[in-house]
Structures are given as structure tokens and as C-alpha cells.
Structure 1
Amino acid sequence: MASPDVLLRARPSSVRIFTRAVRTGLGDLRTNYTWWSWSSGWLLRCLMEVAFFGLIGLLLQSRDATYFLLIGRGLFVGVAETMWVIQSTAWERGTGTLPLLVSAPGRAWPAFAGRSTQWLPSAVTTSLVSLVVLPPLFGFATTAEGLVASVLAAVVSVVASYGFALPLAALVLRRPSWRNAASNVTHNVMGLVCGALVPVAFWPAPVQWFAQIFPVTHSLRGLRAVLDGDPDAWGALAVGFAVALGLGAAWFAIGAWMLERFAEAARHGTIDLDA
């Protein structure tokens, strides 16, 4: 029988597991998409969605509303894509890899979390293209400051929202039939209250407080400050990004803890991995 020291050395570190899982996730992304299918299928579909909301602003004959909707939905479309973390985590059951993940040496959360990063490059690019390409088509000029803020906002919003999605993914692992409903309800509720379609101040105070749990609420607020030319725009942007990343990290930690609890329960036989 191997000594405890040998077993400890054989156990891979969380960083190594996460890195390998990220590579596996990127492989999954390349399998799901080619550049042509992604750009002509997914990206074009997202651009049409953002343009639809811009057209609502034109229908209202309000230039301010048009710009508000283009920026809000342009940033949020990548955040919505990030919610695919919920579905892809539950797919481990369908592919038959879940028993291997929970029985392998090392912690389980880096494997789940790393595989889920496959959506991040696509989501960041989708948001950034939407923010850069569509406003000029509706007659809004893009400044150098606006471009920098948009790039940063797309990255921060998607990364922080990935952290937010992880606890939901851990919950859905226990009820995989909920995966699509959980993802759709989450991103629709988030889109309604985070300031993407209407200002957060439009809602009653309890809803405004509820909106603060979403990282994108804060990153979007900072982006709008820069694009609207507020006097302390970059200060507001820095604060918004800091809060968004802080929330994302907190949600990520909760999700990692929940995934470990799920793995422990599965190892003790209290969860049917074949269900």
C-alpha cells in the first residue's frame, strides 16, 4: 500500500487541474465552432439582437434611448452567453464524464470551472464587436476613450459573470433537467434589472438593491459614465470594475465550495451520478 506521502505527491495541484481543464474547454469550443460558423452564425445572431433593441430606440424617436439600448444590450449579450456555464457544467452527466471527475485524485472544482472557461473568449468578442460595430451604424461616433472603456468593460463583465454563474452551475448539477430553465431565467432577470434595457433607478428600491448582486450592473454603470462623458468618468469606471470583479470573485469562491460539496456527496454515494 502506498504511503500517505506518495499519495499526496500523486495528487495534482488545483492550478494544474484548472490549466488542463481550460485546455480541454478550448478544445470543446473549437469542436463546436469554426471561425465561419461562429461569425456567420452566432456572432451575426447576436449583432441582430443588439440591432433590434437599437431599432426600438429609433421607433421611439429618441436618440438617447437608441444609444442607451445599443450600449446596454451590446455589453449584456456577452454576459448572457456566459450563462452557458450552467448548461455545460450539467453536460458532464450526459457525456458520462461525471463519475470520472468526482473519483479522480485532486479537487473537483478546478475541473468543472476550467472546462466552463470555454465560453469566455467567445463572449468577450461578441460584446466587444457589438459595442464597436453597431453604434456607428446608428450614427454614434466611437472615441478612443470609448473604445478603451468598451474593451475593458467587455472583459471585466464576462469574467465576473463567469464567477457569478458557477454557483448556479453547481446547483444544476444536482438537478440537470433544470439547466436550460435556470440559465434562461437567470440571464433574463439579470437583463431586466441590471441597467441594460432600462435604468436601474426605474425599479422600486428592493429591485434596485437586488440588482447590485450582479457584477454586470456595476461594470455597465462605469462604462456608461465614460461614454456619456461624465466629469469623473474614469473614477466611476474604476469603482464599477472593482466592485464587479470583487463580486465575481466572491461568487466564484461560493461556486467552488458548492462544487466540492457536490463531489464529496457523490463520493459517499448520496448522489446518483447516472440520474
Structure 2
Amino acid sequence: MRYGFLNAVADFKATYTWKSWLFGWLGRMLAQVVFFTGLGGVLGQPGGVRFLALGNALMTCVVDTMAVVATTSGERRAGTLSLLVASPADPFWVFAGRSLHWPVSGTATALVALLGLGPLFGVTWHPSQIPPVVLLTALTALGTYCVGLFLAAVVVSVPRLRNVVSNCAYLAMMAFCGVQVPVGFWPSGLEALARAVPLTHTLHALRAVADGRPAADVLHPALLALLAGASWLGAAALALHWLVAVPARRAGTLDLSR
């Protein structure tokens, strides 16, 4: 996993310069936050601007982490997937470390949005609130990264769907996990699915921090997010093993679409 992360750092440096990340990627994400939060001002709902500012600022890290779906499929195009699968070692930890630059980048993006743009929309932070904000942002990035790893394991056999799946995943989270509307707005079935995603719980905890609520109101959803992320990580490990490694080793091929 350590060497996978070193490869991830090299990939990130090859993808972005500090200028392209700062003025390209970060600028795009901040514009997205401003756009959706601005819609809240047009609607005129009490507390709507604050609700949307927090939700869309934290959502920026999810957009980053869902890129793991595409970059994991990239191992197949690069010709390295066959070597990973042929190895007697478990390839999961290589994949888990191989794209860790996305949650790191996502955490940085969301923190800039929360701490930089938040005050423009009435979300101010006391210095004592900043540590839990940082921790919850990192937990969101890592938890949704685990969701992305599961989707990546499913999609690696059909790489043409990688961008479709990653985009649909983060758009579904944006719609159903409390970013734009409260989770309770949706029918009970969708609400139950939303609560299986770490973002739903970390966003609830973040709003508790912003409102100055007791520590228990923050800790409980944070623990639920941690549990959800661990569950997705386990599901990703099983999916990579049973959908990629086992079939490929048995068939002696990576043509898993047969």
C-alpha cells in the first residue's frame, strides 16, 4: 500500500501542476459551490443558503474521490493489471494505495470551500471548530473513497463504463445524501440507501459542528460514517477478489467481459 501511494503521488504530479490544480480544479469546484448555494438564495428558504453552502462545500471532496473508479480501470489500459492479478499477493492493497491521492486532494478542496467560501454565505467558524471540521472532511473523503473502490472493482471488467459510473455515483450522492435537500425528503427506501453512504453521516455531523451542538451530536454520526466506510472497504476487497482476481487467475486471461 505504501508503494502504491508513492505511485499515486507520482501520478498526481504528472496530472497537475500547482497552477492547474489551484486555478483549474479548485476554481471549478469553488464555482460549483457558489452556483448551487446561489440557488438557495433565489429560493428564499430560511436557512437554505447555509444548508446548501455546507452540503456543497463538503461535496467537493466526493467529486475528487470518485475519480478512483477511472484511475483503477487505468491499470488495465496501462498493462499493469495483469501483473497485479498474476501476483500471489492480494492486489487489493495495491489498488487501495494506488489512488490515495484523490482523498488527499479532495480533503484540501473541501477545506478551502468550507473555510474560505463558508463565511461568504453565513457559515463562520470558531477556532475550536476547525479541528473537527478537518477531521470530518478527511473522514468524508476516505469513506467515499471506499465506496469508489467498490465501484472500481465492479467496473474494472467493463472499463468503458468507468466515467459513467463515477459520475452517476457522485451525482446520486449529491441528490440523496443531504447535500441539496434533507435526507428525509426522499421516500423511505431511498433514505435507507442514503444512510449506507458515509457522506450522509459526516454531513450531519458537520452541520452539528457548525450549529455548535453538543459533542454527542457530532460523535454519533461520525461513528456511523466510520462504520459505513469500513463496510464499503470490506465490500471492495471482496469484490476485487471475486470479480477480478479469482476469475482472471482461473481463466488465465483478463478478458473478464466474457
Cα distance, 1:39–1:109 mapped onto 2, change above 3 Å: same
Return the letter of the residue paired with 1:102.
Answer: V
| Aligned 1:167-182 pairs, distance under 5 A | 167-182=150-165
Of 124-133 and 54-63, deviating more is 54-63
Distance in 1, Cα, partners of 2:44 & 2:105: 33
| Structure 2 counterpart of 1:211 | 194
Q: Say yes or no: does 1:34 pair with 2:17.
A: yes
Instruction: Measure, in 1, the Cα distance between the counterparts of 2:82 and 2:144.
Output: 27
Query: How many equivalent residue pairs?
Result: 256
2:254 counterpart SS class: coil
Larger Cα-atom Rg: 1
Asked if 1:272 corresponds to 2:254, the answer is yes
1:252 to 225, 233, 250: 233
Q: Contact between 1:145 and 1:226, CA under 8 Å: does it hold in 2?
A: no
Shift of 1:141: 2.5
Displacement of 1:145 in angstroms is 3.6
Counterpart code for 2:58: L
* 1:142 positional shift: 2.1
- Alignment-derived partner of residue 131 in structure 2: 148
Counterpart code for 1:212: R
Does the aligned pair in 2 maintain the 1:85–1:166 contact within 8 Å?
Answer: yes
Displacement after TM superposition at 1:63 (Å): 5.5
Q: Quick one: distance in 1 between partners of 2:13 and 2:246?
A: 32
Aligned-partner Cα distance in 2 for 1:271–1:100: 11
Partner residue in 2 for 1:13: none
Paired amino acid for 1:246: L
Is the Cα contact below 8 Å between 2:176 and 2:194 reproduced in 1? yes
1:271 shift after superposition = 4.7
TM-score (ref. length: structure 1): 0.88
The share of aligned pairs that are identical, in percent, is: 36
SS in 1 for 2:178: coil
Residue 220 of structure 2 aligns with an amino acid whose one-letter code is V
2:179 equivalent in structure 1: 196
Mapped partners of 1:217, 1:274: distance in 2: 34
1:45 matches 2:28: yes
Following superposition, the deviation at residue 273 of structure 1 comes to 4.2
TM-score, normalised by the number of residues in structure 2: 0.94
TM alignment of 1:39-78, pairs within 5 A? 39-62=22-45, 64-78=47-61
Match of 1:223 among 176, 182, 206: 206
Deviation at 1:144, TM superposition (A): 2.0
1:183 aligned to 148, 156, 166, which one? 166
**8 A contact 2:53–2:121 mirrored in 1:** no
User: Which one-letter code corresponds to 2:10 in the other structure?
Assistant: G
Contact residue 84 and residue 183 of structure 1 kept, 8 A: yes
Deviation at 1:35, TM superposition (A): 1.1
The gaps in structure 2 that reach 5 residues or longer are none
Counterpart of 1:187, as a letter, is Y
Unaligned runs of 5+ in 1: 1-17
Instruction: Output the CA distance in 2 between the equivalents of 1:166 and 1:123.
Output: 15
Secondary structure of 1:174's aligned partner: coil
Q: Quick one: distance in 2 between partners of 1:258 and 1:139?
A: 43
